[in-house]
Structure 1
Amino acid sequence: MAKWGEGDPRWIVEERPDATNVNNWHWTEKNAGPWSKDRLKELLTNFNITQNGVDCKISEVEKIDGEASANNRKGKLIFFYEWNLKLKWEGRIAGGSDVIKGEIEIPNLSEENDIGEVDITVTIKGSGEEAQRVKSFMHNYGRDEIRKQLKEYIRSLKEEFSKGLILPKKGETSVKPDNVSTITSGFNKKVNMEPIVSTQKSEVGVKLDTKSIEISETFQCRGKEFYDALTRIEMVTAFTQGHVKMEAEKGGKFALFGGNITGEFKELVPDKKIVQYWRYKQWPEQHFSEVTIDINEKDDHTVVTVKQHLVPSAEVDKTRENWKRYYFESIKRAFGFGAFL
């Protein structure tokens, strides 16, 4: 078996357009944060919304908090974006003397929500008949117009900003459309991890019978790549194929697989070890196991060992099976960490 960078065609640099990422195999990432802020300001600042004698416009993009990135993995583009926007707007009724001012909040612009599901809250400063009429116009018509601008941001993120992430293959001068598959970080489908239904009841004074498990698995990747797969939210989203909540820091919380797995990071040693408090939703209330994930990089592969203590005895076999199925196999499938080409 070849050592890192030796013999494996994915690591060989040739005179070819994709020499830095042969066949687009490796996970590559492009930070879309600064570009997104500029693009959102361009689309929204001074955006006019006019109909039936009511004339409004977005006067200022007051706040843009969040992040965005475009990622390439095996010729697929994976997009991650999450934004919280606060806008100022003003408007008037034709023939009216008052300029009505207000604010708009958009707290959940992300790849997990369809444009129609994005919350847009409209408020006004002041009162009176004209103010209420303008607010009603912005609520009923203006929000749909703003959603069109947000949809244009998403389109340009996927079609314009991401150019260059998918590289031509050997013998090609450009990327063929058939070679590109564009998906969101959720891979356009949700995976419902089968909950473990415990037959044991959580009763005060009753000791829960628990056991420990240990599982080892070999991955064709570097230690850092596997560590990132469990700590970078866009990569965790990619292999779990669903919405992820995660703060990868000591004391940070996480929730995966539709909330079926929750916990807290106890210790993080970059590229080497992850320790978590970890539980299934259906375990007895407030019962957490402790998981230690050791990442041991070898010359030509990485060995990952999972040690889990305080697993309810009735759930040991299912827990071991789910580690292999929903973690190990999914990570190999999502990032190509299973075998050399």
Structure 2
Amino acid sequence: MAAAATGACDFSKPSAATGKEATTFSHEVTYHASCEAVYRALTDTYDLSRMMRAPATSDTKVGGEFSWMGGAISGKYTVLEKDSKIGMVWRMRDWADQVYSTVTIALEADGHGVCKLSLKQDGIPVTDKFGNGGTDRATKNGWKERILVVGLSKIIGFALREEDDE
């Protein structure tokens, strides 16, 4: 079956959306939880499925692939530093074939049971493979509403503070 037909991406030949075709998103959230709990929630198959209320897979090793929300989001881990950093090549199924973004998630403990998560996503396409706009807004809203605030709160506890770099 062709990669485009399944929504899969050949990560050996990806290309990022660039220039006017791409945006960047940064967001910070502080949780009353350990960085270990936050890291696990973002990489563990069971926690990801619970958080997103949809099937997820996660081969938690550098080069390992993941699939979230029943395949609507997929990618490959590029950096995994236990309890402190996650790097990903990340894409949504409706993005143009072979277009991906890069996601970096940094976790910082304050020593008092609080973890600050800093997310940066580069190369988010403005339009999908069908020419529909708003892909960048949908991506940002998905992170904020479905993953970083509501989703993680179900797994680790409520967010204490949230900040945008927009």
TM-score normalised by the shorter chain: which range applies?
0.7 to 0.9
Asked if 1:237 corresponds to 2:58, the answer is no
Asked if 1:265 corresponds to 2:77, the answer is yes
Alignment match, 2:159: 338
Per the TM alignment, residue 214 of structure 1 is displaced from its structure 2 partner at its CA by 0.5
Secondary structure in structure 1 of the residue aligned to 2:159: coil
Per the TM alignment, residue 217 of structure 1 is displaced from its structure 2 partner at its CA by 0.8
Alignment match, 2:114: 301
Alignment match, 1:318: 138
Q: Deviations over 1:129-172 (max 9, x none)?
A: xxxxxxxxxxxxxxxxxxxxxxxxxxxxxxxxxxxxxxxxxxxx
- TM-score (normalised: structure 1): 0.37
**Greater relative contact order (Cα < 8 A, sep 6+):** 2
Asked if 1:224 corresponds to 2:36, the answer is yes
Per the TM alignment, residue 337 of structure 1 is displaced from its structure 2 partner at its CA by 3.8
Identity between Structure 1 and Structure 2 (%): 24
Alignment match, 2:90: 278
Secondary structure in structure 1 of the residue aligned to 2:152: helix
Distance in 1 between residues matched to 2:78 and 2:123, nearest whole Å: 15
Per the TM alignment, residue 213 of structure 1 is displaced from its structure 2 partner at its CA by 1.1
Structure 2 gap segments, 5+ residues each: 1-17, 127-133, 161-166
Per the TM alignment, residue 208 of structure 1 is displaced from its structure 2 partner at its CA by 6.8
Aligned-residue CA RMSD (Å)? 1.8
Whether contact under 8 Å (2:52, 2:69) holds in the other structure is yes
Per the TM alignment, residue 255 of structure 1 is displaced from its structure 2 partner at its CA by 0.7
Alignment match, 1:209: 21
Structure 1 gap segments, 5+ residues each: 1-205
Alignment match, 2:3: none
- Structure 1 letter corresponding to 2:155: A
Write out the 4+ residue segments of structure 1 that deviate beyond 3 Å after TM superposition: none
- Structure 2 letter corresponding to 1:254: F
Per the TM alignment, residue 300 of structure 1 is displaced from its structure 2 partner at its CA by 4.1
Distance in 1 between residues matched to 2:19 and 2:120, nearest whole Å: 22
Secondary structure in structure 2 of the residue aligned to 1:288: strand
**Rg larger in 1 or in 2?**
1
Alignment match, 2:4: none
Q: Deviations over 1:205-250 (max 9, x none)?
A: x987112111111111011110011112121122112221210100
- TM-score (normalised: structure 2): 0.75
Distance in 2 between residues matched to 1:207 and 1:338, nearest whole Å: 33
Alignment match, 1:255: 67
Secondary structure in structure 2 of the residue aligned to 1:243: coil
Distance in 2 between residues matched to 1:309 and 1:338, nearest whole Å: 24
Alignment match, 1:64: none
